[in-house]
Structure 1
Amino acid sequence: MNTGTLMIILMLLPGGGYSSSFVGTDTPQECEQRLARIRPILEGGTAELKEAGCYATTATFDDFDHDPPADAPRHTFLLTLTGDRATVRKLASEADCRAALEQAERSAGQSRYCTTSTQDMTGGGD
């Protein structure tokens, strides 16, 4: 699998839990430039920004939609961030994700999240 650069935006939902957005970019530099343009908007929004960064990963996703339908299905992922690398694992449900999160080995410098997204993974990942 080829490693690419993925912009990952993780927002804390008002009722708890995390919502994620994924944007594939051609280079780390392009990702950082795009993120610098949208970061002020994310930080000024009503939802709390938990993470926003550019990560090397094999995971790929559907295109980001700024206005998905209200009834769009949500997909569940276990997201692991380690330095400038991300691994993403799709799971069947939030309960499955919480169980996987509890079983995962803890490593220093690593953040793990159960998150949902209207975007679906199209390739790569764990």
Structure 2
Amino acid sequence: MRATFLLGVLIANLAMANTATAGKNDAEWNPPARFDYAYTGKLTVRYLPQKQVVTACANLFAKYKIAAKSGFAQRGCAAITGKTSCTVIVIEKIYALATPKAVLRHETGHCNGWAADHPN
């Protein structure tokens, strides 16, 4: 009984540690300042489980003839879908230390004109 309790405490602590460190790398995702602002057009955001993000991004890229490729560890993507519209697909929960908030900020930078190869 005591061992079960201790195992439960250990699992809870590991989960909290994972959540606590999840946002630590968010700054790596930030676009350069000149692209880091709220999108002023129509922004469509879809939150999906990470495995669905991969397929949804591949479909988005194909639909809008974007040369980017979708990878198995993809956290999100963006496509400018009109003169004043952009669609963003984002993970629905923390994945590989990236938060949905950080991914949305990153992808919104692409909507604002930040190139896919991430130049500064």
TM bucket by the smaller chain?
A: under 0.3
Counting helix residues as a fraction of each chain, which structure ranks higher?
Answer: 2
Counting strand residues as a fraction of each chain, which structure ranks higher?
Answer: 1
Larger relative contact order (CA 8 Å, sep ≥ 6): 2
